[in-house]
Amino acid sequence: MNLRKTRTASAAHGTTGTTGPTTHPPTEPAAPPPGGTTDGDRAARSGVSRRRLLGTAGAAGAAGLAVGAGGGLLAGTGDRTASGNPDVPGGTAPLSSVGATRLDFHGPHQPGILGPARAHGELLALDLLPGTGRGGAAALLRRWSRAAEAMMAGEAPDADNGVAGGTGPSGLAITFGFGHDFFDAVGLVDARPRALDPLPEFSADALDPERSGGHLWIQVEADDPTVVFHAVRTLQRAAADTARVRHRTAGFNRAPGAASGESGPRNLMGQIDGTNNLRPEQEDFADRVFVPADGDPAWMAGGSYVVVRRIRMLLDPWEEQPLETQERILGRRRADGAPLTGGGETTPVDLAAVDERGRPVIPADAHVRVSAPESNGGAAMLRRSYSYHDGFTGDGSPDAGLLFVCWQADPMLAFVPVQRKLDRGDALSAFIRHEASGLFAVPGGAEPGGYVGQRLLEG
Ligand SMILES: C=CC1=C(C)c2cc3[nH]c(cc4nc(cc5[nH]c(cc1n2)c(C)c5CCC(=O)O)C(CCC(=O)O)=C4C)c(C)c3C=C
Ligand SMILES: [Fe+2]
């Protein structure tokens, strides 16, 4: 693999960090694809009345389409009248593109990995209650998958509480994963992937075990916060008697339509984040992110491993730094995200460039140098993170930072070597603290009529 070529090609296509409301791949097309799923098709399948669909058809057309989890394209209808709340005027007013965006629960990969991270996200870890066993876990995943499928389609789940009544699916994506200790809990130790071996300890780690790990992991994201709450609450209720929430963090990203510029979203340090991410159009993208069809273990085919790190930003000392210092710590300009070696946000970083005195223009300890594939034997991951803000601590400093989420086919070839390097030599380290950690196996997408993890639990 030629990394330099890959990075240049990505920039040459004009896709790095400049498309859509975020810089995450893939983007949403502006027009329906030939042969895309029609509102009528879906109405026939779901039993939703055509009259109701017509109430939102104009909005769906204007809003364009959403990218399905497996690359399928679905017209958004935003119809949530199935929630059955007669007080809600759902279906009478057209939904905007925010509400109408609908993703497919089914596909080769689970939703919530590809495509843009949504404006609101919650990451939860749950532990199975003692005695649940494999059968209980399978029943839970079946219930969860059924509820996720309905809610992502903008339909009411079983025993709905009506909280999302009148709201469109809003890009809702729900993703499920299994942690290392899940396999002990359900007696499936032999099926545990080697890739779930605990992450090594890093010297700068300050991890809180209460907010780390977990048997099961759920990512819920959407462009509407009530839709996220509704989904989280529905899944938590469906887990009663089977699993308890161990920890949960809410995150956010820029809302669709909030910025007029073309550059990507900013993190809470003010930096444009996500520019040099892996892109689906890169030749080796799928190999890097997903377990291949003949991968090991077989039940993980089409799946991916997610590493989640709650990284607190030490914003008081950070904001005291002069702009020039902040930019040398990162290696990019704050205003436009351009590398210190010049050009615009999508211009490739020139790690070899030196100034008139022969010193590297991108400092030796700059974050983008230390984390780059060129500095890590080619290691790379798909980053898809959220900001978080959980208030202020006793001394007045913000409890805020990055819910760093990254996806890869093998953490030992992606997150681990890069984090090892960052741990030793990243100038940003003085301004961040890793406070919680998780590593989960996220199986491929469920087949229609099936559920996530079925191959593991019934294999
Ligand atoms: C182990 C992997 C990484 C961690 C942890 C991490 C934390 C972290 N990053 C930022 C902000 C930025 N990171 C940027 C680039 C970047 N970061 C990583 C990896 C980790 N970051 C990689 C692989 C890269 C790409 C390097 C390259 O090839 O150029 C950037 C620049 C814009 C971009 O390319 O996304 C920013 C900004 C923070 C604030 C943070 C912890 C809180
Ligand atoms: Fe980074």
Domain coordinates in residue numbering, the chain: 3-313+439-457
Name which of 295, 298, 310, 311 is nearest 410 in CA terms: 295
For the segment 341-398, what is each residue's pLDDT rounded down to a tens digit? 999 999 999 999 999 999 999 999 999 999 999 999 999 999 999 999 999 999 999 9
Ligand 1 pocket by Cβ (under 6 Å): 267, 269, 271, 273-277, 309, 311, 313, 330, 332, 349, 367-368, 371-373, 401-402, 404, 415, 418-419, 422, 432
Distances, alpha carbon 40 to alpha carbons 43, 107, 177, 234, in Å = 5, 21, 33, 28
C-alpha 234 to ligand 2 mean position (Å): 33
Ligand closest in space to the Cα of 421 = 1
The percentage of residues in the chain with a pLDDT greater than 70, rounded to a whole number, is 80
For the segment 3-53, what is each residue's pLDDT rounded down to a tens digit? 333 332 222 222 222 223 222 233 333 332 222 233 333 333 333 322 232
Residues marked as catalytic: 273
C-alpha 181 to ligand 2 mean position (Å): 28
Phi and psi torsions of 71, nearest 5°: 95, -5
Using the atom order of ligand 1, give the atom closest to the CA of residue 368.
Answer: 26
For the segment 258-270, what is each residue's pLDDT rounded down to a tens digit? 998 767 899 999 9
pLDDT for res 20:
30
For residue 251, give the 3-state DSSP assignment: strand
Question: Does 65 have pLDDT greater than 70?
Answer: no
C-alpha 406 to ligand 2 mean position (Å): 11
For residue 387, give the 3-state DSSP assignment: strand
Residue whose CA lies nearest to ligand 1 atom number 12: 273
Question: Does 79 have pLDDT greater than 90?
Answer: no
Neighbours of 206 (CB within 10 A): 9
24, 276, 314, 332, best to mutate for ligand 1 pocket (most atoms within 8 Å of CB): 276
Read off the tokens for 160.
């709905």
Which strand (E) or helix (H) includes residue 231?
helix 225-238
For the segment 150-195, what is each residue's pLDDT rounded down to a tens digit? 999 999 999 999 999 999 999 999 999 999 999 999 999 999 999 9
For the segment 123-154, what is each residue's pLDDT rounded down to a tens digit? 999 999 999 999 999 999 999 999 999 999 99
d(CA 48, CA 280): 34
Beta pairing partners, 406: 307, 383
The arithmetic mean of pLDDT across residues 270-279, rounded, is: 97
pLDDT for res 5:
31
pLDDT for res 262:
63
Residue whose CA lies nearest to ligand 1 atom number 27: 372
C-alpha 376 to ligand 2 mean position (Å): 14
pLDDT for res 261:
76
pLDDT for res 62:
33
Ligand closest in space to the Cα of 309 = 1
The arithmetic mean of pLDDT across residues 425-443, rounded, is: 98
pTM assigned to the model: 0.85
Beta pairing partners, 66: 74
Type of residue found at 248 = R
C-alpha 359 to ligand 2 mean position (Å): 23
Name which of 260, 343, 259 is nearest 7 in CA terms: 343
Question: Does 451 have pLDDT greater than 70?
Answer: yes
C-alpha 389 to ligand 2 mean position (Å): 18
Ligand closest in space to the Cα of 266 = 1
DSSP-derived pairing of the beta strands 398-408 and 382-383 = antiparallel
Using the atom order of ligand 1, give the atom closest to the CA of residue 309.
Answer: 5
d(CA 31, CA 63): 9
Q: Where are the beta strands (DSSP E) in 253-383?
A: 304-313, 382-383
For residue 371, give the 3-state DSSP assignment: helix
State the average pLDDT for the chain: 84
Using the atom order of ligand 1, give the atom closest to the CA of residue 307.
Answer: 1
Residue whose CA lies nearest to ligand 1 atom number 13: 273
**Bond preceding residue 297 cis, omega within 30 of 0:** yes
The arithmetic mean of pLDDT across residues 286-309, rounded, is: 98
Question: Does 302 have pLDDT greater than 60?
Answer: yes
Using the atom order of ligand 1, give the atom closest to the CA of residue 381.
Answer: 23
**ipTM beyond cut 0.90:** yes
